Amino acid sequence: MDIKPISDQWRIPDPLWGRFQAILPKYPVSPKGGQPRLNPRRVLDGIFYVLRTGCQWKAAPREFGSGSALHNYFQDWTRRGLFREIWRIALEEYDDLKGIDWEWQSIDGAMTKAPLGGEKDGQDPHRSGQEGGQALGPDRRGRGAGGGGGGRGQRARQVARRRDVAEHAGGGPGADPRGAAALLRRQGV
């Protein structure tokens, strides 16, 4: 199989690699033999390739190593806090090269409506349009507030909810459910 070389744009520059190499864990050689460890520089290049492109681990070029090996190194190095240290070193390097104005920082963000979000739903736009008996039954018709529940335990939930409201209203477990039903009607439930 012919492995196509990756361009240098996906590689860590030599001066920065020298600083990262000092903090990478040293793995002992296994006395049992087995598969040798991957080149740590290729592994770090591969991890950054996946993080920069957003590709899946298995889609990373084989030049970096297998996707599962890259992911295993990523998991191990994350547990060790290595990427936090890499971030610190990279910030120092950037500060040396370009300079960071540590006194001034900003965050940019935007909030927009979801593309298929629909229209606002009355006074409470955050609430679902399918509340209070508006859910559709298997025949795609509304059940209505007093319906039997369509055999899905709806009726049992309504009774349980009335009992819970009665207990919350101070009636306790033996409270009159008719008083709870009146309370629910006043609340619009």
Average pLDDT, the chain: 75
Q: Is residue 122 part of a domain?
A: no
Query: Would you state the pLDDT for residue 1?
Result: 47
- Whether this prediction's pTM lies above 0.75 is answered by no
CB 30: neighbour CB atoms within 10 A? 10
Q: Looking at the predicted structure, is the pLDDT value of residue 70 above 90?
A: yes
| Residue after which a domain boundary falls, among 81, 97, 113 | 97
Residue 180 domain flag: yes
- Per-residue pLDDT tens for 48-60? 999 999 999 999 9
Tally the C-alpha atoms within 13 A of residue 129's C-alpha that lie toward its C-beta: 8
Over the stretch 13-39, which tens digit does the pLDDT of each residue have?
888 899 999 999 998 888 888 888 999
102 in a structural domain: no
Tell me if 37 is assigned to some domain: yes
Count other Cβ atoms within 10 Å, centred on residue 119.
Answer: 8
Please give the average per-residue pLDDT across 78-96, as a whole number.
92
pLDDT digits (tens, 9 = 90+) for 135-155: 555 555 555 554 444 555 556
pLDDT at 52: 92
Range of the domain at 180: 154-186
Query: Is position 77 within any domain?
Result: yes
Of 82, 115, 189, give the one whose Cα is nearest residue 145. 189
In angstroms, what CA-CA distances link 160 with 108, 150, 173? 47, 17, 11
Q: Write the DSSP symbol of residue 37.
A: P
pLDDT tens digits, 173-182:
555 556 656 6
**Closest of 118, 46, 180 to residue 172, by C-alpha:** 180
Instruction: Give residue 100's pLDDT.
Output: 84
- The total of structural domains in the chain comes to 2
117-128, pLDDT tens digit by residue?
Answer: 666 655 655 555
Cα 47 to Cα 57: distance, rounded to the nearest angstrom: 8
Segments in 26-66 forming alpha helices (H): 40-53
Q: Do 91 and 158 share a structural domain?
A: no
